[in-house]
Structure 1
Amino acid sequence: MGLRGRQRELALLDGLVSAARSGRSEALVLRGEAGVGKSALLDSLVARSETCRIARAVGIESEMELAYSGLHQLCQPFLAAIDRLPPPQHDALGTAFGLLTGPPPDRFLIGLAVLNLLSDAAGRQPVLCVIDDAQWLDLMSARILAFVARRLVAESVVMIFAVRDGVEHELTGLAELELSGLGEADAAALLDSVLPGPIDPRVRDRIVAETRGNPLALLELPQSWSAAELAEGLAPGSLAGRIEDGFVRRLEPLPADTRMLLLTAAAEPLGDATLLWRAAEQLGLGADPATAAIASGLISFGQRVRFRHPLVRSAAYRMASPQERQAAHRALAEVTDADTDPDRRAWHRSQATSRPDEEVAAELERSAQRAQARGGFYAAAAFLERAAELSPSPGRRADRALAAAAAKRGSGALDAALALLASVAAGPPDALRAAETEQLRGQIAFDLGHAREAAGLLLEAARGLEPLDATRARMAHLEAMSAAIWASGPDAPGVLAQAAKAAPAPAEPATAADLLLQAFAKRVLRGYAAAAPDLTKALDEARDAIVRADDLRSWLWLAGNRAAGIIALEVWDLAAAQELSSRQEQMARETGALVQLQFALNFRANLDCLTGDLAAVARWVEEGRQIAVATGQPEVAFGGLLLAAFRGAEKPATDLIEATIAAATEREQGRMVDFAFFAKSVLCNGLGRYDDARDAALRVFDQDVLGYGVLVVGELAEAASRTGDTKLVESTLAWLTERVTATPTDWGLGIEARVRALLSADEEAYRRSIEHLSRTSLRVEVARTQLLYGEWLRREGRRVDAREQLRSAHDLFTTSGLEAFAERARHELLATGETVRKRSPETSSDLTAQEAQIAGLARDGLTNPEIAAQLFISPRTVEWHLRKTFAKLGITSRRQLRTAVS
């Protein structure tokens, strides 16, 4: 309350609390060096915020390996309301905190649960969350709290994080307030308040200057100096190091039992006083070792044990000998309940020994399994890494190191996982372990976007697994095939054929994975006609298996769904592609698997581009972008790329296409490069740049890219016909005839009839194309045929007939937002003598992207909680956006959204 020189900072923090009382939410990172006064500011803010409900958490460096420990501190006051959460969020948070058992929860479902807990509490009273030393939060807590902080809008919640300069943290992107030292006058006054007597003004000025006004240094250092040192001022060294050294010097004169008590408190991160006194009794400390500790002012004992500053904790721990630290951890392990807190007990036991101990290593391994079951991959990796260090057997040491590397991959620490694999290789020879190591290397390479490298590593792993574990070998082969599909292209010749040739014969009875693998292999090696029966059978079996799947985290949708989606396109099965897209989206939402959700949304966006629903495409693309922002993951660019191409705005679309090609080429993602060239062919055909469209489409067509041929063949035939390349049109027709003969669908037959009409000027073929395509939801393809048909009729001098086709095409292109194609149709109509003005599709242009998305979901009947769960925001934020939307649209009810939002 009486902080010197902090009026500006206090006013800013008070303003955040005032905003919360008015219904707004804010998040702020308070950043500065150790001792600069971050904790004092937080304490002052809490004392000034009597009208708020307070939640506090403190990051503790020694507790960083225990998953969700920081999050549990913060959420403890609100857990009575956990039963009011939607079931997926309730189960995720309950599992994370060990209240329930279940599959590993997704961290973003946990984040949404925390957001809703805070929002629910703030509905009755503004909530102030203060998180001190946030740089020491365990990884899962830090990521989830960062997610929550980024989603705060209208919940009446304030979150303030204090982080130390120079230490990495997960809070990037949030608003920051940098806290510097006090001004000279305030710093000098603070120093004078703790000096035992007057000193030379030049020495005082030197101390103020060298501490840079750091309040903790000014308050604490003089108390540990001798008179001679006070006369000389500061010694060399970093400020944090000097402060900690000062605390060490204040600790050294204390009785041995008192120092041991402080060491034990430093080793016990919970601050549980009862546990500390039991450990002190276990250590045989004196009758009252706390008296001198309390007199020092460095620690306080109440219901919780609190150090004067985190540097006191580190000083107490650092000054002890290894034997003393082990004794403290051993005592804490003895008094920690093995039933209620087995993981913290295991960690203390592991720190109490310096030599291999299989019993302790096995206990750590069990802790890792519990942590992983709660989704704490980072904690699991820490337990397993320490278990490996304590394993007497070289083989067990290597096995546990491999498991730790896999857990690190699960936590996203890919570089750390690769580094750990080096120690696995140093273990005794073991064929299964070697193959599993190679498989993990391949998976990490794929995670890093190096698809070509991943394909080679995964293929080698699959070969190593074949004589040892046939089931795992097939999964590795499917992973290798997937990586090869992504890598295939002119820069990676033969990579797909190599994966296909290595595919093993299916098991008996064949599973959906077997059938998918065999179908892909036959398609790559023997061509479409030979593979068509296998492709359709694999697609049917995969769809049935996905419907029957009990484990939504199985390969069936992590890999099998996307593989089946490629096959659905290969065989021109639009209904299957749409079903798979919808199912993948549903499953990803239910399980909170956001990376998979991004892919599902982009697959759905691509299909909706073909149906002409660009408004829906824009919503899927925006949701994918929001997920990327919320997760810190790269944005999946498929849908946005094709949306830009179909809209036909030349400059932004071209820039996006070229940037995608450059990035995908650098990462050896040949499939992404091919998709960008397909998008370029769409853009250039719309703009009438037929030479460029032909060249872009031909690059994809010549490679026979899986799943993309059906998309690009129409673009290639149209561009080739407009550039007079009859032979190229003939080759596209032959390609189409082979496929529609093997797998006849209205989609394929409609495109085949269109290309036949382009080649032979067969009017009946144009009509057949429109007839077939009209039986599907491919409205854009219908309009594309009508445009080509109308252009041909006009050239034949049949202006009246041409107008009918061109009007239909122009109306569809205009209302859907395909501006370049609409302009092509408009010019053709003008050439027939018809007057037609430029029109723009009707849009709610005043709405932001998120407002339009929320309005569309509300129009479709979703409730505020359902919209909030889908978009990873709180129901109060949904309500806030809807109020703004109603005002912009001039409506007063959700019912009116049906007509106000197209």
Structure 2
Amino acid sequence: MLRGRAAECERLDQLLAQVREGRSGVLVLRGEPGVGKTALLGYAAERASGFRVASIAGVESELEFAYAGLHLLCAPLLSRLPILPQPQRLALEVALGLAAGERPDRLLVGLATLGLLTADAQPFLCVIDDFQWLDDASARVLEFVAGRALAEPLGLVFAVRQEQLLGGLPELAVSGLAEADARALLETVVPGPIDEGVRERIVAEAQGNPLALLELPRWMTADGGFARPAPLDIEDGYRRRIEALSAESRTLLQLAAADPEADVSLVRRAADRLGITADFDPDLVEVGAQIRFRHPLLHSAAYRSASADERCALHAALAEVTEAPDRRAWHHAQASSGPDEAVAAELEHAAADAQARGGVAAAAGFLARAAELTPDPVERTRRLLAAAHAKRDAGALDEAEQLLSAAGPLSALQAAEAEHLRGRIAFDDRRAGDAARLLGDAARRLEPLDPQLARMTQLEALGAAIWSADDGTILEAARAAPPAPAAPTAVDVVLDALATRLREGTAPEMRPALETVLALPTPDRELGHWLWLTGFRAAGLIALDLWDIDAWHELASRQVRVARDAGALVQLQFALNFLARCTLARGELAEAEVLISEERALAVATDSTAVGYNELLLAAWRGYEARAGELIERMVAGASARGLGRMVDVATYAKAVLYNGIGRYDAAREAARQAFEHRDHVALGMFVVGELAEAASRTGDQPVLEAALDWVSTRDVDSDWQRGIAARVRALLTDDEADYRASVEHLERTPLRTELARSHLLHGEWLRRSRRRSDAREPLRTAHDLFAAVGADGFAERAHHELVATGETARKRRDDTRGDLTAHEEHIARLALAGHTNPEIGAELFISSRTVEWHLKNVFTKLEIASRKELRRALG
């Protein structure tokens, strides 16, 4: 037991016991330098009897090497690679530089790492010190593993300084020792009697920091005083110890600190080149296959103790003996004191290699350093722009903006490309209005230079304008479309169709444009471009504006399938959102909930933000007033602040659905009217008009009802969806039963189950109000059963009350054990029902097969079944 750390040691013992029982354990030790985090990691490793233990530490100099930390962790486990599913194995091999291939997705690398660490039944403990100094790629993978570990005998203990890192994981704040423990620890390191005044000064200055208590006595002068009465600086104390070494011993220590790998043979060869014959001080480092500093602060102090010229010499020597191209390039860069084109070119090549392995952040760092070393202004600008692109790909939007600001002088094409990148950054940051303006400016600049890129950029601008929901911005973007070429591409036909539709209110080109995109084959390369073109910012908008639910579902389903098969997980998140929105429109609420759950899990795993509006739409259809209201308010506030007017409109539409479902028609009418102000927006009016008409009819608002009918009747599309909604709105205005029946007939030919149920409900309500109670029962019963089947509980309850008013006792929705399943559990159960194995389910949902097994056990318990064979009966 460590002195004064009984509670901390007990927490670590509990984690180890939990892992021995087969349940994962994660703990983040957070505290200031020297407070004892490293000692606690050592305690955990010593107590892990029967475990396989892996220990790594972040090193500041390794920040720019993609997967450097992961390589140290996984190197002893590479014999397990053959047991991994092929996509995961290849992703990890490419990330670690063991194989060539396409840039691996970080989540596949994470899942492969989780598979390696949990490949057998032996408990595994990973201790990660100085997490803040791990390279970005390794850090994200380990965060993924920590978040996904659940039912595996795996323990992960992190030590970290910064508050903002590893948020959301179980943590333990490590603070200074109590005064009594501090005094007791001090007595163990002071060799003889000590003046009480000096003792008090040491205890006061150390403030309970164990490392300070161990190091401060070394700074005492012979007369018992301090060599320096300044405030405590442990690293400075280490520098003093280093300065006391001989010149050769000091240089050898600095050389070890300068090499990210700390490979003893490599450091020895570099030392030979510098003529160093001294050996390492065992009080400062532990020498094995690698050189381990006794404390991370000692490592930092050793490197910082060298002057700038000395560091250049250290890195030059290391570059001469280093074989790995990326590390050699890095050493050459660190050894350069001024512009050097040869080194800059070497760094650029290293950046390409890093990007191919998935190290986007490392590539951006290499490119930025290459730009600094580039003597030619034109080449420097080119590399700065490349670094900005890499930073944007890595999600470092602010840093990408800074690199763009530093780039110059720019050619006309480079200036246009920079503006294009600024627009994309703005859209990534969900500033739709800014994105539309910047992308529009970029398209105008590109038109005389690269017409094809100009039209693609203008389509991006148009999509951003639509999401801004600002009429002026949309019209400006539509009018600015450059002329189409003689041989138009799919981008050209989509741009022309959307621009014409938004300028003139209608466009015959919409249907041919949709057919063109539906006929596109899935590309082998540039998958991101294909996913963007077929998504909710381009062809998806056209499908919706044509009221073509089948085309919408086909586009969305293909997006999910292609993105999943390709491992394009960032695009998969948006594809899942796209498909979830479609399944909600079709009334498949349970399926939508599964997709929303997966999208949310992906957002967490990729450290991004879930889109969010499907979750509030689902709550609205379910009739969950408090939950939906909270989500709607949050969405409106956040979207308004960022100029995402379309998100505000979607949230307002959800409010109309909620209030129509629970019978608060005044509130529903007000919400629908707000959303209907933008009734010409592509892919929105078909949802809002039905809500507006229903609420207006129930509140006696004849003018609004007439406006709704006027709008829906002028939609020039060939769609049973449109004809069904138009007939329903007309029936609400004219009280003509033939229109109610026509609405049902049209909607029966579509997969829109909730819309069909709405027409049955309104028909039944009209019949009851017309005192035809017996006639009303059939449509009301049909509506009730449809709503109950899909889980639209608010509308089901409304239909129930109407049935009771006709004199019939309606059957309430049957409570069953399926309702106890979470969306995640139901998703796993349905994949198992479809015949997928546990490893296949784990690969699709980015969890381990053991975690799948654990979830299935919970499913079987909740459904009161014993095997997969019974899932079909239990789930229906």
TM-score, L = length of structure 2: 0.96
Contact 2:22 / 2:151 at 8 angstroms: preserved in 1? yes
Q: Relative to structure 1, is the Cα distance of residues 305 and 23 closer, same or farther in structure 2, using a 3 angstrom cutoff?
A: same
Instruction: Tell me the residue number matched to 2:684.
Output: 708
Q: Which of residues 180, 183, 187 in structure 2 aligns to 1:188? A: 183
- Residues 157-196 of structure 1 correspond to what in structure 2 (within 5 A)? 157-164=154-161, 167=162, 170-196=165-191
- Residues 778-857 of structure 1 correspond to what in structure 2 (within 5 A)? 778-836=752-810, 838-839=812-813, 842=816, 844-857=818-831
1:401-425: per-residue Cα shift (whole Å, max 9, x none)?
222122111111111221222211x
- Residues 450-469 of structure 1 correspond to what in structure 2 (within 5 A)? 450-469=431-450
Instruction: Tell me the residue number matched to 1:303.
Output: 289
Q: Which of residues 346, 365, 374 in structure 1 aligns to 2:357? A: 374
- Residues 480-495 of structure 1 correspond to what in structure 2 (within 5 A)? 480-488=461-469, 492-495=470-473
Instruction: Tell me the residue number matched to 2:265.
Output: 274
1:746-780: per-residue Cα shift (whole Å, max 9, x none)?
22222222223223333222222212211211121
Contact 2:478 / 2:500 at 8 angstroms: preserved in 1? yes
Q: Which of residues 201, 209, 212 in structure 2 aligns to 1:214? A: 209
Instruction: Name the SS for the 1:129 alignment partner.
Output: strand
2:320 is aligned with what amino acid?
A: E
2:837 is aligned with what amino acid?
A: T
Q: Relative to structure 1, is the Cα distance of residues 246 and 175 closer, same or farther in structure 2, using a 3 angstrom cutoff?
A: same
Instruction: Tell me the residue number matched to 1:140.
Output: 137
Deviation at 1:251, TM superposition (A): 1.9
2:855 is aligned with what amino acid?
A: H
Work out whether 1:508 is the aligned partner of 2:489.
no
In structure 1, C-alpha distance between the alignment counterparts of 2:213 and 2:610, rounded to whole Å:
48
- Residues 497-646 of structure 1 correspond to what in structure 2 (within 5 A)? 497-528=475-506, 531=507, 533-545=508-520, 547-551=521-525, 553-562=527-536, 563-646=538-621
Instruction: Tell me the residue number matched to 1:231.
Output: 225
Instruction: Tell me the residue number matched to 1:333.
Output: 319
Q: Relative to structure 1, is the Cα distance of residues 727 and 163 closer, same or farther in structure 2, using a 3 angstrom cutoff?
A: closer
2:321 is aligned with what amino acid?
A: V
1:192-211: per-residue Cα shift (whole Å, max 9, x none)?
33334311123113212321
Work out whether 1:100 is the aligned partner of 2:99.
yes
In structure 2, C-alpha distance between the alignment counterparts of 1:499 and 1:344, rounded to whole Å:
47
Instruction: Name the SS for the 1:294 alignment partner.
Output: coil
Deviation at 1:273, TM superposition (A): 0.8
Instruction: Name the SS for the 1:389 alignment partner.
Output: helix
1:328 is aligned with what amino acid?
A: L
In structure 1, C-alpha distance between the alignment counterparts of 2:815 and 2:272, rounded to whole Å:
78
How many residue pairs end up in the alignment? 874
1:128 is aligned with what amino acid?
A: L
Q: Relative to structure 1, is the Cα distance of residues 504 and 223 closer, same or farther in structure 2, using a 3 angstrom cutoff?
A: same
Work out whether 1:434 is the aligned partner of 2:415.
yes
Work out whether 1:289 is the aligned partner of 2:278.
yes
Deviation at 1:665, TM superposition (A): 0.9
Contact 2:491 / 2:533 at 8 angstroms: preserved in 1? no
In structure 2, C-alpha distance between the alignment counterparts of 1:307 and 1:795, rounded to whole Å:
84
The unaligned stretches of length 5 or more in structure 1 are none
510-519 or 627-636, larger mean C-alpha shift: 627-636
2:497 is aligned with what amino acid?
A: A
834-843 or 890-899, larger mean C-alpha shift: 834-843
Contact 2:219 / 2:227 at 8 angstroms: preserved in 1? no
- Residues 748-787 of structure 1 correspond to what in structure 2 (within 5 A)? 748-787=722-761
Instruction: Tell me the residue number matched to 1:20.
Output: 19
Instruction: Name the SS for the 2:336 alignment partner.
Output: coil
Q: Relative to structure 1, is the Cα distance of residues 558 and 105 closer, same or farther in structure 2, using a 3 angstrom cutoff?
A: farther
In structure 2, C-alpha distance between the alignment counterparts of 1:210 and 1:71, rounded to whole Å:
38
Work out whether 1:319 is the aligned partner of 2:305.
yes
Deviation at 1:719, TM superposition (A): 2.4
Contact 2:128 / 2:158 at 8 angstroms: preserved in 1? yes
In structure 2, C-alpha distance between the alignment counterparts of 1:728 and 1:694, rounded to whole Å:
9
Instruction: Name the SS for the 1:659 alignment partner.
Output: helix
1:700-725: per-residue Cα shift (whole Å, max 9, x none)?
33321211122222222222333334
In structure 1, C-alpha distance between the alignment counterparts of 2:745 and 2:344, rounded to whole Å:
70
Instruction: Name the SS for the 2:858 alignment partner.
Output: helix
1:777-836: per-residue Cα shift (whole Å, max 9, x none)?
112111111111112222333222211111111111122222222222222222222233
Contact 1:815 / 1:840 at 8 angstroms: preserved in 2? no
In structure 1, C-alpha distance between the alignment counterparts of 2:626 and 2:864, rounded to whole Å:
34
190-199 or 87-96, larger mean C-alpha shift: 190-199
- Residues 590-739 of structure 1 correspond to what in structure 2 (within 5 A)? 590-703=565-678, 704-739=680-715
Contact 2:534 / 2:559 at 8 angstroms: preserved in 1? no
Contact 2:35 / 2:210 at 8 angstroms: preserved in 1? yes
- Residues 107-126 of structure 1 correspond to what in structure 2 (within 5 A)? 107-120=106-119, 123-126=120-123
Instruction: Name the SS for the 2:700 alignment partner.
Output: coil
Work out whether 1:444 is the aligned partner of 2:425.
yes
The unaligned stretches of length 5 or more in structure 2 are none
Deviation at 1:5, TM superposition (A): 3.2
Q: Relative to structure 1, is the Cα distance of residues 247 and 728 closer, same or farther in structure 2, using a 3 angstrom cutoff?
A: closer
Instruction: Name the SS for the 2:42 alignment partner.
Output: helix
Contact 1:273 / 1:301 at 8 angstroms: preserved in 2? yes
Q: Relative to structure 1, is the Cα distance of residues 840 and 506 closer, same or farther in structure 2, using a 3 angstrom cutoff?
A: farther
Instruction: Name the SS for the 1:699 alignment partner.
Output: helix
Deviation at 1:846, TM superposition (A): 3.1
In structure 2, C-alpha distance between the alignment counterparts of 1:261 and 1:673, rounded to whole Å:
62
In structure 1, C-alpha distance between the alignment counterparts of 2:122 and 2:477, rounded to whole Å:
60
Work out whether 1:402 is the aligned partner of 2:385.
yes
Instruction: Name the SS for the 2:125 alignment partner.
Output: strand
Percent of pairs with identical residues = 55
In structure 2, C-alpha distance between the alignment counterparts of 1:326 and 1:168, rounded to whole Å:
33
Q: Relative to structure 1, is the Cα distance of residues 775 and 601 closer, same or farther in structure 2, using a 3 angstrom cutoff?
A: same
Deviation at 1:838, TM superposition (A): 4.2
In structure 2, C-alpha distance between the alignment counterparts of 1:726 and 1:169, rounded to whole Å:
55
In structure 2, C-alpha distance between the alignment counterparts of 1:551 and 1:12, rounded to whole Å:
50
Contact 1:203 / 1:233 at 8 angstroms: preserved in 2? no
In structure 2, C-alpha distance between the alignment counterparts of 1:881 and 1:795, rounded to whole Å:
49
Deviation at 1:97, TM superposition (A): 1.3
1:744 is aligned with what amino acid?
A: D
TM-score, L = length of structure 1: 0.93
Work out whether 1:251 is the aligned partner of 2:242.
yes
Q: Relative to structure 1, is the Cα distance of residues 521 and 204 closer, same or farther in structure 2, using a 3 angstrom cutoff?
A: same
Contact 1:57 / 1:74 at 8 angstroms: preserved in 2? yes
In structure 2, C-alpha distance between the alignment counterparts of 1:552 and 1:591, rounded to whole Å:
11
- Residues 48-127 of structure 1 correspond to what in structure 2 (within 5 A)? 48-120=47-119, 123-127=120-124
Contact 2:613 / 2:635 at 8 angstroms: preserved in 1? no
1:606-663: per-residue Cα shift (whole Å, max 9, x none)?
3323333222222222222222333332222121111111112333222322221122
Q: Relative to structure 1, is the Cα distance of residues 862 and 129 closer, same or farther in structure 2, using a 3 angstrom cutoff?
A: same
- RMSD between aligned residues: 2.0
1:314 is aligned with what amino acid?
A: S
1:264-299: per-residue Cα shift (whole Å, max 9, x none)?
1110121111101110111122xx311xx426x112
2:723 is aligned with what amino acid?
A: L
Instruction: Name the SS for the 1:160 alignment partner.
Output: strand
In structure 2, C-alpha distance between the alignment counterparts of 1:172 and 1:67, rounded to whole Å:
22
Contact 1:211 / 1:218 at 8 angstroms: preserved in 2? yes
Instruction: Name the SS for the 2:540 alignment partner.
Output: helix
In structure 2, C-alpha distance between the alignment counterparts of 1:81 and 1:501, rounded to whole Å:
59
Work out whether 1:876 is the aligned partner of 2:870.
no
